[in-house]
Amino acid sequence: MNTLAAWAHPQLAAQVIRPRRDGRSEIALRVDGLRDARQVLALEQLIHALPGVQRVAIDAPAGRVRVVWDARRTSLPALLGVFAGARCSAQPLRHDSIDDARAEEMHAALKRLLVGGMFAMQVMTYAFVIYIGVVDFVDFTTRGLFRWLSLLSTVPIVFYSAQPFFAGAQAELRQRRLGINLPVALAVALVFLASAVNTLRGHGEIYFDSVSMFVFLLLGGRYLELRARHRSGALGDAVIDATPLLAERRRADGTLETVAALALVPGDRVHVAEGGTVPADGVLESGTVRVDEALLSGESRPVTRHAGDRLVAGSVVLTGPAQLRVEASGAHTAAARLGALAERARQARSPAMQAGERDASRFVARVLALTVLTALGWLLVDPSRAFEAAVAVLVVACPCAFALTLPATLTRAFGLLAQHGVLVTRSDALQPLARADYALFDKTGTLATPQLSLADITPLRGDTPAQVLQWAAALAHESSHPLARALADAAAAHGPPPRAEAVQVTAGAGISGTLDGRALRLGQPGFALPCADAAATATMDGALLLADADGAIARFQLAEQPRPDAAATLASLRADGVSLAIASGDSASRVAPLAATLGVDDWHARQHPADKLALLEDARRRGHVTLAVGDGSNDAPILAGADVSAALASGTGLAQAHADLLLLDGRLDGLANARVIARQVRDVVAQSRRWSLAYNLLAVPFAAFGLVPPWLAGIGMSLSSLAVVLNAWRVGGRA
């Protein structure tokens, strides 16, 4: 209940509650534990039972709930209490993540579709009467009346339903590129204008039925595509929401508690571990640190910050832990920047429409040329049929399906990958992943997780194991290295560690700090005992040593457990024809057993980041497409250097990740799934493109010779687009 009450703080509430014009409040929540529809409905009824609740919208697959209510009648903690009472944990999301754009886009598309459908049916009945009237019982003036009625009924279709095509074409023209909206808009406008002129003149063919059906069918295809896109978009959002940026706040007694960065208030003291993201704007209280602000300023070189300097939210602390006092003034700007971090992840995920459109624009240019040629050809042969044939070519040859292929397939793939716990941060990463045939794995933190039990602790000066573990944990707590984390985790069972002062982390070596006035060093033997000679430390290779000024205090032997899914993932990659390699900074005696367990013959010990990069370069020279897998920030060089890279990280790790794929929740098996999906995407895209090209090539001659009426061309176009969208759903069908 304590955490619930915290949301009564006005500054916190202001970050998550969006005031509405009608005086009510709106909030978006991330809710876990919604399993079946009955539970969803029960929850809905519970919320509705609260006083002042106006509207509840629950999106169960995305784990999102939106509530509109009167905050004066029910407080935010009371609202959250209902969720806690229903055994669903609810996490408020930042108010700017309340996304109306999607719902409104959907509403507009649905309205346009329905108006199009209703009036298209009306126009069809009139057209039917006219077709019969030519033969039989309706006299000539009635025929004129029906032509005018058709014109009248087509007006809402062209001027309301077809708006997106005209707006799209306009945008394309303004950007001086040829998109798929242009031929559609051109066809609709030309056919409508010609028919309207013929209606006014009182004679000549009219095509109101064709143009209205054309627009209706296209809108139907687009609506389905929009639904699929929003669905997978919501699933991806759910993954990002599930990993909010966390902060470690120091309580009054000096111990740390983990809270959402959103829940920080000015004056809070926050601890940021080495490699961590600064959760809020604030003043640096501890010693000098190096900070990566690339995401905020674009400056790629790390900057140095001294005690008393300001740190901005979203930057990454590279060296040593930082102690931060949260400031009042920056709360809003910082929050916006953190929002931008999540936004970056969202944008990276949204399929690159441009990639498909680049290919399409060349295509459109040819379509337009072909249309003009057809018109000219018919003008020479039979001018009366030139217009109809030209319009048919324009519609038939329009590369809608072609342009849809990549976005539709990627949308589907990214949604699926998000379900498998894989976030794609570079939209063209799937292609090299499908082709990759050499994979380089980091060991510690990636293939294996270090674990420590009390039996592996050897006190060297007569202290108890629990005591030396507490001392070591005080230092280890300040680092994000996997070994340090294993130590801290082992110590957590024995209560919170004491607090160390003046902690400095030396990358790749160890941690130093002062505990109760005693200078302690934890790390590789060479680091812990800088004065000892190499021979003395060599015997302790592979262990962590805790030492003070008088010498070694204790030795920690960390056993490494391969991740539970490591063997299966490597086996499936190997079966897929990928040659595997392990490169570790560790000693050979520790890499060899793990490599043997996992069945990897090609392993390298004592590798510095530069050596690992050389391994990759060498593989690439031999013609391999390389995949690098690491655990986030400390493998940055190989992650950046490989053709495609994956990192085990949380969603907030995006800030520092140089990886193309992020494997969430420490699940390595996502990698094998991602590769299967990447291959399916490649195959499906190639197949869809072949289909759409074959369809266009096949239909164009018929249209050019005047054998395809415009309405049939419209149906063909919609069906081919629909076929591509449906084909995209084959991805993940047989994983």
Residue 466 three-state SS: helix
Please report whether residue 213 would count as binding other proteins according to CB under 8 A.
no
Q: Measuring CA to CA, which residue among 241, 237, 232, 231 is closest to residue 31? A: 241
When binding is defined by CB under 8 A, the residue of 4, 78, 118, 567 that contacts other proteins is: 118
- DSSP code per residue over 654-683: GGT---SEEEGGG-SHHHHHHHHHHHHHHH
Please report whether residue 592 would count as binding other proteins according to CB under 8 A.
no
CB of 43 to other proteins, least distance (A): 10
Give the binding range for other proteins (CB under 8 A) out of 2-10, 100-108, 338-346, 349-357. 100-108
Q: Which is nearer to other proteins, 54 or 687 (CB)?
A: 54
Q: Which is nearer to other proteins, 143 or 485 (CB)?
A: 143
Please report whether residue 42 would count as binding other proteins according to CB under 8 A.
yes
When binding is defined by CB under 8 A, the residue of 41, 376, 381, 735 that contacts other proteins is: 41
Please report whether residue 57 would count as binding other proteins according to CB under 8 A.
yes
CB of 110 to other proteins, least distance (A): 6
Number of residues that bind other proteins (CB under 8 A): 30
CB of 135 to other proteins, least distance (A): 16
Pair 67, 98: CB distance under 8 Å: no
Q: Which is nearer to other proteins, 49 or 493 (CB)?
A: 49
Please report whether residue 98 would count as binding other proteins according to CB under 8 A.
no
CB of 230 to other proteins, least distance (A): 11
Residue 602 three-state SS: coil
Please report whether residue 301 would count as binding other proteins according to CB under 8 A.
no
Plot region of 269 (φ>0 → left; ψ -120 to 50 → alpha; else → beta): beta
Q: Which is nearer to other proteins, 111 or 332 (CB)?
A: 111
CB of 60 to other proteins, least distance (A): 7
Nearest-angstrom CA–CA distance, 466 and 473:
10
- DSSP code per residue over 678-731: HHHHHHHHHHHHHHHHHHHHHHHHHHHTT-S-HHHHHHHHHHHHHHHHHHHTTT
- DSSP code per residue over 80-116: HHHHHHTT--EEE--GGG--HHHHHHHHHHHHHHHHH
Q: Which is nearer to other proteins, 35 or 621 (CB)?
A: 35
Q: How far is CA 12 from CA 261, 313, 339, 490, in A?
A: 10, 17, 15, 34
Residue 551 three-state SS: strand
CB of 45 to other proteins, least distance (A): 6
Pair 294, 300: CB distance under 8 Å: yes
Q: Which is nearer to other proteins, 58 or 240 (CB)?
A: 58
Pair 233, 113: CB distance under 8 Å: no
Please report whether residue 50 would count as binding other proteins according to CB under 8 A.
no
Please report whether residue 226 would count as binding other proteins according to CB under 8 A.
no
To the nearest 10°, report the CA torsion of 638, 639, 642, 646. Answer: 140
Give the binding range for other proteins (CB under 8 A) out of 117-125, 271-279, 367-375, 699-707. 117-125
Give the binding range for other proteins (CB under 8 A) out of 134-142, 179-187, 233-241, 645-653. 134-142
Nearest-angstrom CA–CA distance, 264 and 508:
32
When binding is defined by CB under 8 A, the residue of 11, 33, 45, 132 that contacts other proteins is: 45
CB of 149 to other proteins, least distance (A): 6
Nearest-angstrom CA–CA distance, 53 and 51:
6
Q: Which is nearer to other proteins, 145 or 715 (CB)?
A: 145
When binding is defined by CB under 8 A, the residue of 40, 189, 196, 693 that contacts other proteins is: 40
β partners of residue 311:
282
Please report whether residue 115 would count as binding other proteins according to CB under 8 A.
yes
Please report whether residue 103 would count as binding other proteins according to CB under 8 A.
yes
When binding is defined by CB under 8 A, the residue of 111, 251, 310, 690 that contacts other proteins is: 111
Q: Which is nearer to other proteins, 121 or 365 (CB)?
A: 121
Q: Which is nearer to other proteins, 145 or 355 (CB)?
A: 145
Give the binding range for other proteins (CB under 8 A) out of 136-144, 163-171, 351-359, 679-687. 136-144
β partners of residue 247:
259
CB of 386 to other proteins, least distance (A): 34
Nearest-angstrom CA–CA distance, 653 and 233:
20
Q: How far is CA 653 from CA 128, 150, 189, 276, 649, in A?
A: 62, 59, 49, 8, 6
Please report whether residue 84 would count as binding other proteins according to CB under 8 A.
no
Buried b (16+ CB within 10 A) or exposed e, 38-50: ebbeebbebbeeb
Nearest-angstrom CA–CA distance, 723 and 408:
11
Give the binding range for other proteins (CB under 8 A) out of 13-21, 137-145, 467-475, 478-486. 137-145
CA 391 vs. chain centroid, Å, equals 41
CB of 283 to other proteins, least distance (A): 45
When binding is defined by CB under 8 A, the residue of 27, 29, 58, 616 that contacts other proteins is: 58
Please report whether residue 69 would count as binding other proteins according to CB under 8 A.
no
β partners of residue 63:
none
Sheet holding 303-305, edge to edge: 303-305, 289-292, 316-317
Strands (E), 47-197: 53-59, 64-69, 90-92
Give the binding range for other proteins (CB under 8 A) out of 113-121, 383-391, 616-624, 698-706. 113-121
Q: Which is nearer to other proteins, 134 or 592 (CB)?
A: 134
Give the binding range for other proteins (CB under 8 A) out of 40-48, 211-219, 338-346, 421-429. 40-48
CB of 100 to other proteins, least distance (A): 12
Pair 716, 703: CB distance under 8 Å: no
Q: Measuring CA to CA, which residue among 317, 313, 362, 373 is closest to residue 339? A: 313
Integer Rg of the chain from CA = 32
Give the binding range for other proteins (CB under 8 A) out of 91-99, 116-124, 313-321, 472-480. 116-124
Please report whether residue 134 would count as binding other proteins according to CB under 8 A.
no
Please report whether residue 49 would count as binding other proteins according to CB under 8 A.
yes
Please report whether residue 163 would count as binding other proteins according to CB under 8 A.
no
Residue 437: CB atoms within 10 A of its CB come to 15
Residues lying near other proteins in the complex (CB under 8 A) are found at 37-38, 40-42, 44-46, 49, 55, 57-60, 103, 106-107, 110-111, 114-115, 118-119, 122, 138-139, 142, 145, 149, 153
